[in-house]
Amino acid sequence: MLTISVAGYYAFQQFTAFKQMPLERDIASFEIVKGSNISKVSKHLKQQGLISSSFLFKLLAKVKQQDTAIKAGEYSLKKGMTPESILDLFTQGKTLQYQTRLPEGLRFKDWIKLIKTDKNLKQTLSDDGYQNIMSKLKTKYANKQPEGLFYPDTYNYPRGTTDIELLQRSHNALMKLMDEQWEKRTPFKGINTPYDALILASIVEKETGHPDDREKVARVFLNRLEKNMLLQTDPTVIYGMGENYKGNIRKKDLKKDTPYNTYTRKGLTPTPISIPSGASIKSVFSPAEGDILFFVAKGSNGRSYFSKTYSEHKKAVIKYLLNGKANRYQGEK
């Protein structure tokens, strides 16, 4: 009986010491493969010298009733962690996260380049897959072009996340924002659907030189739609030029009709022309007040001067763009 008691006490001491044994080094990456059970995980930890006993780790998991709660994924282990804290980490699923930044203002083709070269993502999409991406996503816009239908942000995700999973998250985030904004919208002429609002937001994104002007830029275009005026915005013409755009826009480009030329066609463009930020989207639903119809860049700080009348706008163009030389003014583009 005494021998059994001593053995039991010794085993208890071993187990207690094991639970408190600190990790001696940082481990940048420890991966639990999907489908792994506690036995495989314990064995893997022991093989890497991260614990002294696979048996005691399994026992610890059993005692804590966590032996069936371990979550697959990639984990970062820090020096000083104990077997107990490691087990808690595995059961909480606090996996190592990677980041991908998908910026606003770009075209979807630019996003494709970023995603394709991102080593943290699992690449599954072909060129054709990207071109038909909307039909591969869970969306009500399956028949639309992908331009503008994603939300720009920095996305965190675990190892093994695929390119299409990232795009689905981005699209879902956009849909959530659009639904929220559409639900509380003030009706505006020319904005008949959430997709219309998204198109205008993409134009606002490309025409805004300074964040503080965003709501005014949105108001200018909404006022123009209200009055059935041409939007007359260069970024739409550039988008319509496609590969023919070489860095500068000429007068003949403004006169050449395309579905995206807002100097020759009234109303919105057929699709968004960029991936708009959340701020640009919100500006379309909550624009500044006023009767402004024109704006012109004032200088290097990106701010614009806004006018209610063409005569006022002409004076601003001469002042800010032509250095006060009225003889250089050529009228509307």
DSSP 41-82: HHHHHHHTTSSS-HHHHHHHHHHTT-TT----EEEEE-TT--
Q: Tell me, what's the pLDDT at 332?
A: 56
**Dihedral Cα 299, 304, 306, 312, nearest 10 deg:** 20
φ, ψ of residue 55 to 5 degrees: the values are -65, -45
Coil, helix or strand at residue 129: helix
pLDDT tier, 2 (very low <50, low <70, confident <90, very high otherwise): very low
Tell me how far apart the alpha carbons of residues 123 and 6 are, in angstroms, rounded to a whole number. 58
Nearest to 27, CA basis, from 1, 58, 2, 51: 51
Evaluate if residue 299 carries a pLDDT over 90. Answer: no
pLDDT tier, 288 (very low <50, low <70, confident <90, very high otherwise): very high
Tell me how far apart the alpha carbons of residues 215 and 208 are, in angstroms, rounded to a whole number. 9
DSSP H helical ranges for 256-303: 278-285
Label residues 133-166 b or e (16+ Cβ within 10 Å = b). Answer: bbeebebebeebebbbbbbbbebebbbbbebbeb
Evaluate if residue 67 carries a pLDDT over 70. Answer: yes
Least confident of 5-19, 143-157, 247-261, 300-314: 5-19
